[in-house]
Amino acid sequence: MTPRTPQIHRVGAVSYLNARPLVDGLELRHDIELVQDVPSRLLDRLLAGEVHVALCPVIDYQTSPEPLAIVPSGAIGSDGPTFTVRLYSRDPFEEVDSILVDGDSHTSVVLLRILLSRRHGIRPSIVRDGLPRRPDDWAGLPPGRRAILMIGDKVVATAPPDGLFPHQMDLGAAWKELTGLPFVFATWLTRRVTPLGGLPGLLSGTLRTNLERTAELASLHASSAGWPEDLARTYLADTLTYHLGHRELEAVRLFWRLAREEGLVSGERPLVLRGDPA
């Protein structure tokens, strides 16, 4: 009898430090092809059928041209401060009229607009180019750039000099203060017609294993991501949350509802899950 060829699942994810507990080790498996890209391109790869699941910004569930499903085998979130989703402003937030944002971010921009509207009563314009990419770039930043949203590893590797932006907001902390709930920035999405087989369980198992080795993950990956190892260890073990349970799903639904109420998405699709919460 000819041996069965194992199904190869293609998994799309970001290469950021915060995704390591969700994906580390998948690249070593014979039945997984790990495809890495920036968050803003993973949805396109998913819709094109290039990957079976993708670690996408949670707002993509509502903005995708095709209805999707959440695979609740893990997520990237926080139950309070995130440390790496941060608004920097030269002026008090109530005086901000435009914000330079990270083009890689979808969810964080919508979250920022909700927080500024609900907490500070403002609706600034959003500018998506010219974000500093190296520490030296801050010296040439035009004086007109009064506020900047940065996310991910860049908050550590490309942080602005002390004192340049005296007003700062950690978006995870601000959401917790507003709602009392955790926040989910990204989770596994899939097309509703895609066969997944045992992939949800495999992803859940990978997460469980990696959450027991966050110190090792920090040692392996902090330097290449531009992080001090001790800070990376705390970030992975204590700052971020990775499970998508009932409380996190409640927060996701609230986020989508507020986005609709603020006119940031045109509708509100109901939540569809494929698999049980990890």
Top CATH class, 9-78+182-261: alpha beta
CB of 72 within 8 A of CB of 47? Answer: no
If pLDDT is split at 50, 70 and 90, which confidence band does 278 have?
Answer: low
Residue 144 has pLDDT above 70, yes or no: no
- What's domain 85-179's superfamily in CATH? Periplasmic binding protein-like II (3.40.190.10)
What pLDDT is stored for residue 2 in this prediction? Answer: 43
What pLDDT is stored for residue 162 in this prediction? Answer: 78
Burial (0-12, 13-18, 19+ Cβ within 10 Å), 31: middle
- Which tens digit of pLDDT belongs to each residue from 240-252? 999 999 999 999 9
Burial (0-12, 13-18, 19+ Cβ within 10 Å), 184: buried
What pLDDT is stored for residue 41 in this prediction? Answer: 87
Q: What does the alpha-carbon distance between residue 28 and residue 24 come to, in Å, rounded to a whole number?
A: 9
CA 45, distance to chain mean position in Å, is 17
What pLDDT is stored for residue 137 in this prediction? Answer: 73
Among candidates 31, 167, 155, 27, which has minimal Cα distance to 95? 167
Query: Which part of the chain has CATH 3.40.190.10?
Result: 9-78+182-261, 85-179
- Which tens digit of pLDDT belongs to each residue from 145-190? 688 999 888 889 888 887 888 999 999 999 999 999 999 999 999 9
Q: What does the alpha-carbon distance between residue 47 and residue 42 come to, in Å, rounded to a whole number?
A: 9
What pLDDT is stored for residue 6 in this prediction? Answer: 59
- Which tens digit of pLDDT belongs to each residue from 2-21? 444 558 999 999 989 999 99
